[in-house]
């Protein structure tokens, strides 16, 4: 069940079930929340942010899922895995270690909560910048609520060809802000290096 962390298999022992699948077509992951291990197809291993943009955080309402989201948030903030996850990784070569295989890494899930007190949304995440090509994400901030995915306070920078001079690359600052007129919809703002701003409000479509 998403979310999970992809493990470095160079640190995994050669014993038993972990080597049953074709390693060149799969990755070994450990899920947040349940701390189970699984081997999934490489094409299904996507960045955490991409999973959020695909609404995977709305797929489940079980307590273990919200616990997993909270642990993933802490990992992004501190770059430290929960102690229990680390302990299980040390014993991954033992016979007691549970390893599953699957196509997508997303378990089926009931819509009922095991523990309402664990229903939490991701709060403000203090994180080091995430760089993907020419995209630099400096803030994920927090989610408006547990139903609307848009991250209020999300900030990223990306270089594009200048509108004024096609021969130049210009850095654009992209933000997701609170809509002052409609609280249930975000406002998107783009700011150029020259300070010019363009804002647009989401209509929900």
Q: Give CA–CA dist 23/193, Å, rounded.
A: 45
Q: Which of 57-61, 148-152, 199-203 has the highest mean pLDDT?
A: 57-61
The two three-digit tokens of residue 124, written as one number: 């403000």
Q: Give CA–CA dist 187/197, Å, rounded.
A: 12
Contacts of 82 (CB under 8 A, 6+ apart): 32, 35, 71, 74
Contacts of 7 (CB under 8 A, 6+ apart): 27, 28, 29, 30, 37, 89
Cis peptide before 3 (omega within 30 of 0): yes
Q: Give CA–CA dist 62/169, Å, rounded.
A: 46
The string of pLDDT tens digits covering residues 70-127 is 888 888 888 888 888 887 777 665 444 444 544 444 444 544 333 333 333 334 444 5
Structure confidence at residue 15 as a pLDDT band (50, 70, 90): very low
Angstrom distances, CA of residue 151 to CA of 143, 155, 168, 187:
4, 9, 31, 11
Give the dihedral sign, CA 40/44/49/51: negative
Dihedral of the CA atoms 170, 171, 174, 180 (nearest 10)?
A: -70
- pLDDT at 31 exceeding the cut of 80: yes
pTM of the predicted model as reported, rounded to 2 decimal places: 0.44
Domains of the chain from N-terminus onward = 4-118 (no CATH), 130-201 (3.30.160.360)
With beta carbons less than 8 A apart as the criterion, state whether 18 and 39 touch: yes
- pLDDT at 9 exceeding the cut of 60: yes
**Looking at residue 40, what is its pLDDT?**
84
**Looking at residue 93, what is its pLDDT?**
52
How far from the centroid of its chain's Cα atoms is residue 121's Cα? 13
**Looking at residue 115, what is its pLDDT?**
37
Q: Give CA–CA dist 85/134, Å, rounded.
A: 33
The whole-number average pLDDT for the span 42-69 is 79
With beta carbons less than 8 A apart as the criterion, state whether 51 and 3 touch: yes
């Amino acid at each position: 069940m998403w979310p999970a962390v992809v493990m470095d298999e160079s640190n995994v022992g050669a014993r038993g079930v972990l080597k049953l699948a074709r390693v060149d077509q799969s990755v070994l992951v450990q899920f947040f929340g349940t701390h189970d291990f699984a081997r999934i197809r490489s094409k299904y291993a996507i960045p955490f942010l991409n999973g959020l943009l695909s609404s995977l955080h709305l797929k489940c309402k079980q307590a273990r899922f919200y616990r997993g989201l909270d642990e993933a948030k802490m990992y992004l903030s501190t770059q430290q895995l929960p102690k229990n996850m680390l302990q299980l990784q040390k014993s991954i070569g033992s016979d007691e270690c549970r390893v599953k295989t699957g196509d997508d890494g997303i378990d089926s899930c009931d819509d009922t909560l095991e523990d309402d007190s664990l229903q939490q949304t991701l709060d403000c995440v203090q994180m080091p910048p995430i760089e993907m090509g020419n995209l630099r994400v400096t803030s994920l901030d927090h989610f408006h609520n547990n139903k609307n995915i848009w991250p209020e306070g999300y900030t990223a920078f990306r270089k594009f060809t200048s509108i004024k001079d096609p021969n130049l690359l210009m850095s654009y600052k992209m933000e997701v802000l609170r809509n002052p007129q409609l609280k249930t919809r975000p406002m998107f703002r783009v700011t150029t290096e020259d300070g010019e701003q363009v804002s647009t409000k989401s209509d929900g479509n």
